[in-house]
């Protein structure tokens, strides 16, 4: 591999020349081998393969492409002020990229507002070069750790999302009421003990040195890890992985501990070992986690154990955000239920006539509701109303186009939960806000003027905020679309069901069929993208590779709109963001050609029109089965229109010669 990458060095002179398909294949096969070596705990092989990957030209090229072309935060400059690189600079970076120098440039501090608060949180933005180096190191480390990570850790891992964590909670609480430890780790990333983390990392010396340097430069700027549903934090590319490594082992510790306990079920029989393990659930998303068990004593003891375990890492639970509650009833002045990742999870009592049965046949007098948390929908509504206020004098279509992606994103995130009523409520709040907006715009006009101006009747709905061309999306509609017949009995979770990731499955296991089928069903995936993905069989038509979870996808017009392409599904395709970049460059040529052609066509049409006009004006006469222009005899026309002369002369000639021979 290293030899072939050396050969490549002398060949590739342009960024566009890099054979991406081959590069992806080479990288993935290396990662898969690291994953497999890690599964059989072959430390020697892991390190050998990781070093190979870090030296590989292809892996370096992909790392550079990820940070320069794919990453959402690609336009934020580091301390060197570099925001974007030209293709030439990118290639130079690939050649000069040396991940393990043991050095790091300091990071630029950026303050971004915390959601729902006036506080701001700092982000450390590394330089472009450091980002690429971190990305490369992550490519090498991630498969090793993916093979080891615990099944119920869901944050910042390939192929896993918030919805998998919520589904795990749903499975745990579907058939039982329980006590819950709802915990939050205080300033997780700031306080992790570096020594313990590096020991846990257990890697070769050069790598260890490099990561130590990065940890230091990050800590200096107070980088805080924050589980955001917007995606990975913009700071260090590698920091979420390091946080996951630090917190790795919590689940195993709790499981090992519960095996030593004596637990009896309702009938008084002692539980077997495997049932004991099943009786407790620990579900973690980055630094946010919950522990579920039906006995309060077990939860209390588990809390103490967790605290002790975390203290080894220099961490502690945040007292104001950590609580013990029950899922159904009041406990110790705590309201039933808890919030996790923007969802509220609690159980409600049901009457006997609505009682359902558990799979074991026991009757249960409660039902589980998972719905958007109050904080989440209040914040969402506040964001929307702020935008409406800001757009008081803007065009209606600009306001619609600003709000639609926000509404679509939010309602997609919650569409698998019990959201119907909340969605309806938000829609009506938005209506009143928009009415106020219209009143302010036309204070002297009455409602008869404003209603038809801003609201239209579309498809039986009289109150669609629309300017005729663009329409405001409704939360409720998004929910209705996701409704199918798979209504779950007993537990109120209507609509389509989200399917949780399999136990310890990782994309590095190479089961592409499983992973690509999961991709299309992801709730964050808009319907249009999911449809295209299905038609394309999970492949990107530009590079021919299967889409993966970390890939950024964009919708492309196959024939660009500026070159006469339409917006129907037939003319759309889903591409990688980096493939889209390339396609757009090719499109520019196409558009230029199209416009050229259109210009020619225009001229051609003009001459055809002239020709047709001419002929329609003229009178025809049949002479010996040949059409002959009457005006052909008119000499005055001949001098004006040379084209006609040619036509009429030949006609006359043939008719003449025909006469002679006849
Ligand atoms: Zn592609």
- Give the model confidence (pLDDT) of 464-511 as tens digits: 888 888 888 888 776 666 554 334 444 444 445 677 788 778 888 877
What's the gap in Å between 61 CA and the centre of ligand 1? 15
pLDDT of residue 650: 43
Q: Are 135 and 66 in contact (CB under 8 A)?
A: yes
What's the gap in Å between 529 CA and the centre of ligand 1? 15
**Average pLDDT estimate for 601-615:** 81
Phi-psi region of 628 (alpha: psi -120 to 50; beta: other; left: phi over 0): beta
Report the distance separating Cα 416 and Cα 181, nearest Å: 24
What's the gap in Å between 149 CA and the centre of ligand 1? 29
What's the gap in Å between 543 CA and the centre of ligand 1? 4
What's the gap in Å between 70 CA and the centre of ligand 1? 11
* CB neighbourhood size of 37 (10 A): 21
pLDDT of residue 564: 78
**Average pLDDT estimate for 20-33:** 88
pLDDT of residue 48: 92
Helix axes 87-96, 57-65, angle to 10 degrees: 140
Task: Pick the closest to residue 199 from 259, 129, 264, 246 (CA basis).
Answer: 246
Share of the chain above pLDDT 90, in %: 8
What's the gap in Å between 39 CA and the centre of ligand 1? 30
What's the gap in Å between 539 CA and the centre of ligand 1? 8
Structure tokens at 645: 């002369």
Per-residue pLDDT reduced to its tens digit, 380-432:
999 999 999 888 888 888 888 888 888 888 888 888 788 888 888 998 999 99
pLDDT of residue 298: 87
Residues in the chain, overall count: 662
Of residues 109 and 349, the one with the higher pLDDT is 349
Report the distance separating Cα 103 and Cα 183, nearest Å: 36
Given pLDDT bands bounded at 50, 70 and 90, which one contains residue 127?
Answer: confident
Average pLDDT, rounded, for the chain: 78
Chain centroid offset of residue 232 CA:
10
What's the gap in Å between 3 CA and the centre of ligand 1? 27
Per-residue pLDDT reduced to its tens digit, 146-164:
998 888 888 888 888 888 8
What's the gap in Å between 160 CA and the centre of ligand 1? 21
pLDDT of residue 224: 45
SS3 206: helix
What's the gap in Å between 545 CA and the centre of ligand 1? 6
pLDDT of residue 627: 65
Question: Is the confidence at residue 232, as pLDDT, over 70?
Answer: no
What's the gap in Å between 302 CA and the centre of ligand 1? 47
pLDDT of residue 46: 92
What's the gap in Å between 89 CA and the centre of ligand 1? 22
Per-residue pLDDT reduced to its tens digit, 551-596:
788 888 888 888 777 778 888 888 888 888 888 888 888 888 888 8
pLDDT of residue 568: 82
Q: How many CA atoms lie within 13 A of 211 on its CB side?
A: 28
What's the gap in Å between 463 CA and the centre of ligand 1? 41
Of residues 220 and 409, the one with the higher pLDDT is 409
pTM, 2 dp: 0.76
What's the gap in Å between 443 CA and the centre of ligand 1? 52
Given pLDDT bands bounded at 50, 70 and 90, which one contains residue 82?
Answer: low
What's the gap in Å between 642 CA and the centre of ligand 1? 56
Max mean pLDDT range (33-42, 66-75, 516-525): 33-42
pLDDT of residue 625: 72
What's the gap in Å between 575 CA and the centre of ligand 1? 5
pLDDT of residue 641: 45
Report the distance separating Cα 420 and Cα 411, nearest Å: 10
- H or E segment and range at residue 115: none
Q: Are 313 and 192 in contact (CB under 8 A)?
A: yes
What's the gap in Å between 24 CA and the centre of ligand 1? 10
Structure tokens at 430: 């938005």
What's the gap in Å between 577 CA and the centre of ligand 1? 7
Q: Are 376 and 116 in contact (CB under 8 A)?
A: no
What's the gap in Å between 580 CA and the centre of ligand 1? 8
**Average pLDDT estimate for 6-21:** 72
pLDDT of residue 1: 44
Task: Pick the closest to residue 151 from 173, 167, 138, 135 (CA basis).
Answer: 167
What's the gap in Å between 496 CA and the centre of ligand 1? 29
341: which DSSP letter? T
**What's the N-to-C CA distance of the chain in angstroms?**
85
What's the gap in Å between 28 CA and the centre of ligand 1? 15
Structure tokens at 339: 């919030």
């Amino acid at each position: 591999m290293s030899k072939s990458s050396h050969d490549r060095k002398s060949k590739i002179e342009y960024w566009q020349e890099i054979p991406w398909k081959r590069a992806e294949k080479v990288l993935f096969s290396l990662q898969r081998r690291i994953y497999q070596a890690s599964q059989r705990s072959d430390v020697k092989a892991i390190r050998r393969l990781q070093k190979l990957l870090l030296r590989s030209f292809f892996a370096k090229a992909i790392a550079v492409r990820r940070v320069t072309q794919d990453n959402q935060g690609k336009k934020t400059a580091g301390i060197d002020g570099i925001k974007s690189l030209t293709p030439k600079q990118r290639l130079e970076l690939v050649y000069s990229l040396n991940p393990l120098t043991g050095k790091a440039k300091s990071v630029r501090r950026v303050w971004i507002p915390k959601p729902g608060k006036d506080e701001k949180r700092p982000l450390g933005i590394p330089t472009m070069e450091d980002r690429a180096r971190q990305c490369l190191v992550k490519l090498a480390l991630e498969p090793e750790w993916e093979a080891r990570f615990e099944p119920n850790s869901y944050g910042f891992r390939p192929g896993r999302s918030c919805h998998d964590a919520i589904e795990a909670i749903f499975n745990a609480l579907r058939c039982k009421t329980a006590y819950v430890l709802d915990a939050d780790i205080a300033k997780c990333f700031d306080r992790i003990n570096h020594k313990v983390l590096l020991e846990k990392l257990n890697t070769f010396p050069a790598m260890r040195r490099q990561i130590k340097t990065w940890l230091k430069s990050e800590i200096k700027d107070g980088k805080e890890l924050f589980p955001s549903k917007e995606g990975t934090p913009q700071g260090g590319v590698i920091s979420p992985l390091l946080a996951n490594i630090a917190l790795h082992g919590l689940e195993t510790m709790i499981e090992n501990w519960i095996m030593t306990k004596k637990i009896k079920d309702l009938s008084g029989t002692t539980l077997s070992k495997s049932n004991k393990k099943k009786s407790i659930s620990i579900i973690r998303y980055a630094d946010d986690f919950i522990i579920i068990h039906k006995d309060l004593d077990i939860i209390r003891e588990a809390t103490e154990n967790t605290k002790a375990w975390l203290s080894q890492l220099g961490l502690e639970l945040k007292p104001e955000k950590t609580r013990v509650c029950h899922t159904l009833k009041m406990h110790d002045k705590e309201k039933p239920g808890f919030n996790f990742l923007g969802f509220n999870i609690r159980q409600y009592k049901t009457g006997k006539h609505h009682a359902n049965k558990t799979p074991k046949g026991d009757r249960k007098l409660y039902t589980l509701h998972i719905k958007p948390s109050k904080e989440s929908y209040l914040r969402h509504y506040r964001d929307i109303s702020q935008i409406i206020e800001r757009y008081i004098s803007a065009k209606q279509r600009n306001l619609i186009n600003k709000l639609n992606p926000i509404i679509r994103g939010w309602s997609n995130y919650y569409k698998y939960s019990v959201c119907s009523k909340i969605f309806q409520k938000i829609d009506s709040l938005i209506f009143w806000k928009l009415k106020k907006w219209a009143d302010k715009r036309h204070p002297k006009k009455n409602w008869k003027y404003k209603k038809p101006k801003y609201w239209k009747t579309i498809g039986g709905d009289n109150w669609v905020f629309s300017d005729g061309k663009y329409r405001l999306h409704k939360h409720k509609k998004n929910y209705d679309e996701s409704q199918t017949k798979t209504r779950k009995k007993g537990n109120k979770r209507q609509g389509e069901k989200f399917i949780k990731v399999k136990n310890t499955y990782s994309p590095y296991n190479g089961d592409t069929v499983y992973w690509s089928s999961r991709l299309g069903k992801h709730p964050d995936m808009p319907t249009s993208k999911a449809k295209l993905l299905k038609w394309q069989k999970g492949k990107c038509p530009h590079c021919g590779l299967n889409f993966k979870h970390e890939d950024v996808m964009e919708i492309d017009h196959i024939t660009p709109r500026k070159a006469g392409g339409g917006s129907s599904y037939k003319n759309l395709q889903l591409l990688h963001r980096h493939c889209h970049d390339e396609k757009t460059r090719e499109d520019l040529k196409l558009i230029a050609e199209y416009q050229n052609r259109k210009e020619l066509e225009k001229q051609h049409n003009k001459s055809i029109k002239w020709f047709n006009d001419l002929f329609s004006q003229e009178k025809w006469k049949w002479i010996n089965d040949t059409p002959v222009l009457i005006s052909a005899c008119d000499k005055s026309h001949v001098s004006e229109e040379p084209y006609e002369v040619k036509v009429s002369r030949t006609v006359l000639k043939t008719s003449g010669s025909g006469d002679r021979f006849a």
